[in-house]
Amino acid sequence: MTHSPADQQYREKQAGALQIGDYLFLPGDGPAEQITQIELEHDDFGVPALILVTTLDGGNVRIAIGSSVPVGEATAIPDVADTPLAEVPAPLGEEPALEPDTSDAPDGGTSDGGDAPAEAVPAVVVPPLPAVAPTVSRPAGPDPAQLALIPEPTDSPENIVGAAGEAHPGRNGVAVLSERLVKGINTKSGSCLRDLSDLAHDLFIELRDPDRALAVADILNVLPYDGNRDRWMSVERSLALSSFICRELGQTERAAVYDQLLQAPDTVETDPFKARIAAKVRQRGLNEPNLYDKEIFRSIDNGNRDAEREWRLLRLETLLFLRSHGGSNTLGVGELDHRIANELEAVRA
């Protein structure tokens, strides 16, 4: 057997885009080998760093996730001169070629009287069937009937914010935010979205006004995910808060709509392999959330009540986010509900 680049057509492919069924050229001059298994190895920060590939013949290779590697579909071409004629593969759908029957011919003779060897039949390489990309299950988004559960605004966003400020005069946090927002709300501005999210949280957590908190939050909740993670974080906080408020008010169907909208970015990746990587990283984040335990205990030990409250607010946001995802492998819904109730009591005290 011989292998050379001329015998095998190949192209470059990002290691992160490799799929089971691809043909990978391993280091050296060997033929392309079919991939049968792909595993990920993460670094100490939980980020995918290495791809561990297993091929059909049992070979293993480690590839940095950002590397480009040669892939193709060609297999090795045998040297026909070293292969018995009966073992040369025949074209697809035809009977294999047979050696001529010379049992009745004189010794050393041929049908045309010559003694030249029979012409070798060239090998035919049958290309493999294309690999079928594995499907990735994705939660369906809310349908129009579900979206109708979010009430249409009865006034402009600026007037909704202004009414919330007027309903709670003298409250510094709400007053500052509402005065700034009534001058004009720009949903393309990250700072504006953050102010709206903070206002909704203050109305519910500090002032215990769920109705106005929902009205302000719905200014954000209807915004689609545009790929900007910084802006989306404010929408995400608003959706998680709205979902919790609706469950507290017994509006479970409306809460489910907010949950589905919050998980919209989880379904935007169309590449199956990248979607699987993102799903694993996302699940690890849900299973191992940062609940700021060290920071809270340090604030308690130092007697710093303000710092403790700020850290608890961050913990509450994380718990609301987990609750909107339906919990995780380490924190179930019941445990999350219990912890959220404790944090609310602590920050409202």
CA distance from start to end of the chain:
79
Rounded to an integer, the average pLDDT of 304-323 is 96
Span 239-278, pLDDT tens digits: 999 999 999 999 999 999 999 999 988 888 888 888 888 8
Query: What is the per-residue pLDDT for 1?
Result: 40
As given in the structure block, the two tokens for residue 29 are 């001059």
Stronger pLDDT, 269 or 95, i.e. the higher one: 269
Contact 243, 323 (CB under 8 A): yes
- Minimum mean pLDDT among 27-31, 50-54, 309-313, 344-348: which range? 27-31
Per-residue confidence at 83, pLDDT binned at 50, 70, 90? very low
Query: What is the per-residue pLDDT for 72?
Result: 75
Q: Is the pLDDT of residue 3 over 60?
A: no
Contact 62, 25 (CB under 8 A): no
Other Cβ atoms less than 10 A from the Cβ of 316: the count is 23
Helix (H) or strand (E) holding 125: none
Every domain of the chain and the residues it spans: 5-71, 145-348
Stronger pLDDT, 62 or 201, i.e. the higher one: 201
Task: Tell me the average pLDDT of the chain.
Answer: 80
Q: Cα separation of 219 and 193, whole Å?
A: 9
Q: Is the pLDDT of residue 321 over 50?
A: yes
- Minimum mean pLDDT among 167-176, 232-241, 316-325: which range? 167-176
Query: What is the per-residue pLDDT for 33?
Result: 83
Query: What is the per-residue pLDDT for 74?
Result: 43
Query: What is the per-residue pLDDT for 200?
Result: 97
Contact 334, 310 (CB under 8 A): no
Other Cβ atoms less than 10 A from the Cβ of 314: the count is 15
Span 205-220, pLDDT tens digits: 999 999 999 999 999 9
Q: Is the pLDDT of residue 154 over 90?
A: no
Q: Cα separation of 285 and 117, whole Å?
A: 69
Side chain identity at 324, as an amino acid letter? S
- Minimum mean pLDDT among 5-14, 74-83, 214-223, 321-330: which range? 74-83
Query: What is the per-residue pLDDT for 130?
Result: 41
Query: What is the per-residue pLDDT for 8?
Result: 54
Q: Cα separation of 153 and 299, whole Å?
A: 41
Query: What is the per-residue pLDDT for 128?
Result: 47
Q: Is the pLDDT of residue 194 over 60?
A: yes
Cut 0.75: pTM above it? no
Query: What is the per-residue pLDDT for 98?
Result: 47
Contact 53, 42 (CB under 8 A): no
CATH of 5-71, one of 2.30.30.30, 2.40.50.180, 3.40.50.10860, 3.30.470.20: 2.30.30.30
Span 98-134, pLDDT tens digits: 444 544 444 444 444 445 444 554 444 444 444 433 3
Q: Cα separation of 273 and 278, whole Å?
A: 9
Contact 131, 145 (CB under 8 A): no
Q: Is the pLDDT of residue 5 over 80?
A: no
Stronger pLDDT, 274 or 305, i.e. the higher one: 305
Query: What is the per-residue pLDDT for 94?
Result: 45
Helix (H) or strand (E) holding 323: helix 305-324
Rounded to an integer, the average pLDDT of 192-213 is 96
Rounded to an integer, the average pLDDT of 17-42 is 80
